[in-house]
A and B are shown apart, each in its own frame.
Chain A
Amino acid sequence: MKLRGKDMVGLRHITAQEIELILNTAEAMKGIINRQIKKVPTLRGRTVITVFYEASTRTRTSFELAAKYLSADTVGIAAATSSVSKGESLKDTARNIAAMGADVVVLRHPMAGAAELLASTLQASVINAGDGAHEHPSQGLLDLFTAREKKGRLEGLKVAIIGDIMHSRVARSDIWGYTRMGAEVRLAGPSTLIPRDIEKMGAIVCENIEDALAGADVVNVLRIQTERQQQGLFPSLREYSRMFCINRERLGLAAPDALLMHPGPMNRGIEISPDVADGLQSVITEQVTNGVAVRMALLYLLIGGGAR
């Protein structure tokens, strides 16, 4: 079995069987990360280029490690956002990448649809490492992987996603992924940050945070960008924290063995309180490890052989 597409731009069009394949492959990959010699020769001679138009040390490092563990060569292009405004088009960047002979391009970009634009231009596989508020499939997959690993299943799980849903590509990828695997997704956050018609994606929009958390098996807390407050989307960080911060008391509404996740980086004391972030239910650091495994799986499945 193989992924159907040349690229991984989002989870919207990915089938349950494909998700299953990715997660199973990631399980094997995690075995490699956990051993002393964290390297297999699988992608020797292949080149992975990371192109980041937004700074994100964590995601970029995760992809680079994944590539290196599989013995691929990696090159990073730090395309500062300023070069976008200077008029260097994404298509021009794409042409340069094609000329360098990459097998996989990992793209992080502030605008929705950028990965699809690049994928349509390049013969190489494109992995979307986050495009605007559209999708962040590898993060969605690592969330699924972590939940499945800890809970033994995805079907029937109750997953609460809390915070700035509107600007969150993670929320969108999570909703597609979890609902496709038969989990229930509930959303809660300030009403100004709940995008229109999102319930049509198959998620449940909760009136209040308590309803979303009640009996949840997974609580995924989204990062709140302080600039959203400056944009007037909610009155103050203080009030946001008072109404939506996941603290011990609120986490207590979830199932006793609920998992606490956060895509990082965290604003401790704003969307998540430090005691729960570092508490027993937190799987936030494991998410980071699992991220490498999932990205290894994606790299293998996209370019690890087998005629297309």
Chain B
Amino acid sequence: MKLIIKGGLVVDPVAGSATIKDILVVEGKIAETGANLSAGGAVVLDAAGRLVAPGLIDMHVHLREPGFEAKETVYTGTRAAARGGFTTVACMPNTNPVIDNAALIRSIINSARTGGLVQVCPVGAITRGSRGEELAEMGDMAEAGAAAFSDDGMPVSNAGLMRRAMQYAKMLDKALISHSEEKSLSAGGSMHEGYISTILGLKGISACAEEVMVARDILLAEETGCRVHIAHVSTAGSVRLLQEAKARGVRVSAEATPHHFTLTDEAVMGFDTNTKVNPPLRTGADLAAVRQGLADGTIDVIATDHAPHTAEEKDVEYERAPFGLVGLETAVGLVWTELVNTGVLTPLQAITCMTLNPARILGIPKGTLEPGADADITIIDPALAEVVDPAKFASKGRNTPFAGRMLKGLPWLTMISGRIVMRGGVLEEENQQQ
């Protein structure tokens, strides 16, 4: 089985280049890249005018399995990923039960193998049950295939415990993903604390609730030498802390979400529960700092924090609604519309944030177009424009604040190990059924 992707602008984050050339895929692997490639019997895929990148990686996704299958499953979540142009996702362990042991890691990997459409890298819990009391068996989980560790959503509040977790994770050479939130500062809050929360009468979550923990985990990373990844950076203060830490050589990385670089707390004005997310949508100054952080490399990764919920759960009073919004199927469109088309990031920077950088943090051999690598490839059509319609989502979750928004620059094709799984916004399995 041979396939040539012809004439696309190949964005190669490893080489740091974006050039028009061809890619030859043989038996699910990248065989060769270069100009005017040809191979007998190869299927030719015309990518002229489009952008060819390594398969996109979303290192922050909630697949909700096991325990919350009404919100999402590995089956539906990975299809949402494929539709969104992602070939690999890392899924968070805040399921029921919490993914805090090797058996559960294996069960996720199995689920993904049997019913999943894209590669799934499970993230294991730092502490048992994410209760923040005692370390989970991180060694066993690492051996079973855990890509990183996090108590996402239930941050480790005990600094001593977090320090030990970092020492331990360093031994395993795994990154700890810090959901940076000081619960005593955020408790009861449902949006950013500021003018908008004041006029809406909603309890706020101050920027400090995040920054205090970012600072703590940077200091602990500095002391332990562990690789720490700050999830969903949302404030200007966090960006500044990261900048200073990186300048000192601390092994810290960070991610930002499309909603944090697109929306501010003003989006909450109509009490749309689809704007309720943790960390909350912040101010215009925070949004600008996050964009600047992505542009200057302070923030390494774009990840979605894809957090599906059922319509019933979201169709309630703002304070009662759960945090989270879906992101897999709008991410590329938002990156292009908000960052690339506006000149904040070059296509190469954007692609690097969604491929090579998360691959390195997770320690997986992805995010590259080097010969011999798995032929995980995403083709983006920068001219393709569409209004976000949640009814078209493959995800079970429809909880997006972006419905009705026009996005330009969309994933056109997703290929996993040489197999096309999505084309023109439609999953290939659906194309075949028709």
The reply, when asked whether chain A contacts chain B directly with Cβ atoms under 8 A, is yes
Provide the bound-state CA to CA distance between A84 and B194, in Å: 28
Nearest Cβ distance between residue A242 and chain B, in whole angstroms?
Answer: 27
A195 at interface, CB cutoff 8 A? yes
Residues on B with C-beta less than 8 A from A132 are 201-202, 319
Provide the bound-state CA to CA distance between A132 and B202, in Å: 8
The answer to whether A112 and B198 have CB atoms under 8 Å apart is no
A135 at interface, CB cutoff 8 A? yes
Known contacts A196-B194, A197-B194; A172 and B318 CB within 8 A of each other? no
A201 at interface, CB cutoff 8 A? yes
Query: Which range contains the number of A residues in contact with the other chain?
Result: 20 to 34
- One of A113-121, A150-158, A271-279, A285-293 at the interface: A113-121
Nearest Cβ distance between residue A273 and chain B, in whole angstroms?
Answer: 29
The answer to whether A196 and B197 have CB atoms under 8 Å apart is yes
Chain B 200-236, CB within 8 Å of chain A: the 1/0 string?
Answer: 1111101000000000000000000000000000000
Number of interface residues of B (CB under 8 A): 21
Provide the bound-state CA to CA distance between A112 and B195, in Å: 15
Chain A 182-218, CB within 8 Å of chain B: the 1/0 string?
Answer: 0000000000000111101100000000000000000
Known contacts A113-B271, A134-B200; A196 and B317 CB within 8 A of each other? no
The answer to whether B315 and A89 have CB atoms under 8 Å apart is yes
User: For residue A91, which residue of chain B has the nearest CB?
Assistant: B315
* Chain A interface, >50% SS class: mixed
A255 at interface, CB cutoff 8 A? no
Residues on B with C-beta less than 8 A from A114 are 317
Known contacts A90-B316, A197-B194; A112 and B204 CB within 8 A of each other? no
The answer to whether B194 and A117 have CB atoms under 8 Å apart is no
User: For residue A166, which residue of chain B has the nearest CB?
Assistant: B198
Nearest Cβ distance between residue A118 and chain B, in whole angstroms?
Answer: 10
The answer to whether B201 and A172 have CB atoms under 8 Å apart is yes
Provide the bound-state CA to CA distance between A133 and B201, in Å: 4
- Of A91, A111, A113, A200, most buried by chain B (CB within 10 Å of CB) is A113
Cβ-defined partner of B201 (8 Å) among A84, A134, A197, A200: A134
User: For residue A112, which residue of chain B has the nearest CB?
Assistant: B201
The answer to whether A111 and B318 have CB atoms under 8 Å apart is yes
Give the A-binding residues of B (Cβ under 8 A): 193-195, 197-204, 206, 270-271, 312, 315-320
A-B contact pairs, 30 of them (CB 8 A): A84-B320, A89-B312, A90-B316, A90-B317, A111-B317, A111-B318, A111-B320, A112-B200, A112-B271, A112-B319, A113-B271, A113-B319, A114-B317, A116-B270, A117-B271, A117-B317, A132-B202, A133-B202, A134-B200, A135-B201, A172-B199, A195-B197, A195-B204, A196-B193, A196-B194, A196-B206, A197-B195, A197-B198, A200-B195, A201-B198
Q: A112-B202, A134-B200, A200-B195 are in contact. List 4 more A-B contacts (CB 8 A).
A: A112-B319, A113-B202, A117-B271, A197-B195
